[in-house]
Amino acid sequence: MVDAQALEKYNSKLKLSEGSSSTQGSSTNSSYHAISQGIKHVQAYTNKPWIIDSRATNHMIGASNLFTSYIPCSGKDKVRVADGSMVPITGHGSIRCTKTLSLSPVLHVPNFPINLLSVSSITKSLNCRGWFDPSHCAFQELGTGRILGTGTVHNGLYYLDEGSDEVAFASKMSPCQELLLLHRRLGHPSFAAMSRSYPSLFNACPRESLICDACEFAKHTRVPYPSLKLRSNKLFDVIHSDVWGPCEVYSISGHRWFVTFIDGFSRYTWLYLLKHKNDVFVVFKDLYALIKNKFGNTIKVLRSDNGTEYVNHEFEQFLVSNGIEHQTTCVNTPEQNGVAGRKNRHLLEIACSLMFIMNVPKFLWGEAMKTTIYLINRMPLRVLDNKSPAELLLN
């Protein structure tokens, strides 16, 4: 490699010897021209930027002086270039492009006109990911999230930035990119909280651009079901049912579950305490006999979830033989059985309030539930135009 400082000294001596003979002058000029061409040839390779190519299978370079480690090859191996020709590979090794980015293996292809950085090769060798936007690109280490290198678009090509690091990358980011980066680093707080912490940065970002996919997946909740405000037109047209339990404390009678049956028209509720969850079928037959004998009516539709206490051969046979339609909810969709679900929650809230205020021991929870159901059936409800369920059921 030619020393540029030595060339400058030689040039100054050349100017002092302008009175020499023409033969000596021509020799000196030709020597100067050869030295200058050598320096330009070396600088042409060292100053060439790295072009980031997603179709290249390997990193390639035409100069050998940039390698930090180099292994010569026989020249028998060849690589196909853009014009379709095959050119020999004379060696391969490692090259340090920036202070944070080293490439290996890099193929040495003599007289190759550009420095080529392969996206597939760098992501595989450095275990990183590359992402591209219309004006910039970056390579980020998967394990640590550290920025290894960045690129900028010029004339439709991505060029690797010299000395690119995370600080330089941050300076190139748009306000939205910077705010999203801070959002991830701070543990994904809400953008309302971000607006208070970084008001100037937040005001510079369009609201529609502030979208975090991780937050959408991790924090999303199911949209509440709209209330259709539909009621049955007659008594016992639809019976809603749901089971609660098991309670961690046995009741005084040894129960751990309870099941409710709610009439869709009057909202009158029957509650049965259960020792075992599969006792639902037994108490439903009791309810069916009660409605038939006391009110001279029959149940038309039973609506419940898909629990095995409702969906089993014995239960289904009874429903079919008595002409009762069984409507079940979709799997993992308790909202479709909202009448029974809300009723059970209401019962538990009232029962707990009664037990707290009276300082009742927990094993009396079953008696508290019976008291609660007696009171609720006799309290006026807004959905019933301020009439009580017992009033509608018993006229």
Active site residues: 53
Token pair of 194, please? 């971000």
Q: How far apart are CA 266 and CA 291, in angstroms?
A: 14
Q: How far apart are CA 239 and CA 339, in angstroms?
A: 10
Token pair of 232, please? 């049955």
Cα-trace Rg, the chain: 41
Q: How far apart are CA 368 and CA 348, in angstroms?
A: 9
Residue type for 198, please? Answer: Y
| CB-based burial label for 258 (10 Å; 0-12, 13-18, 19+) | buried
Task: Give the H or E element holding residue 345.
Answer: helix 338-358
Residues 120 and 54: beta-carbon distance below 8 Å? yes
Q: How far apart are CA 263 and CA 269, in angstroms?
A: 7
β pairing state of 238-244 and 257-263: antiparallel
Helix/strand/coil for 262 = strand
Residue type for 381, please? Answer: L
For 173-261, where are the alpha helices, taking DSSP H only?
A: 175-185, 191-197, 199-203, 213-219
Q: Measured in Å, how far apart are the chain's first and last C-alpha atoms?
A: 109
Residues 164 and 148: beta-carbon distance below 8 Å? no
Task: Give the H or E element holding residue 60.
Answer: strand 59-61
Q: Can you say whether the dihedral through the CA atoms of 201, 207, 211, 216 is positive or negative?
A: positive
Q: How far apart are CA 337 and CA 345, in angstroms?
A: 13
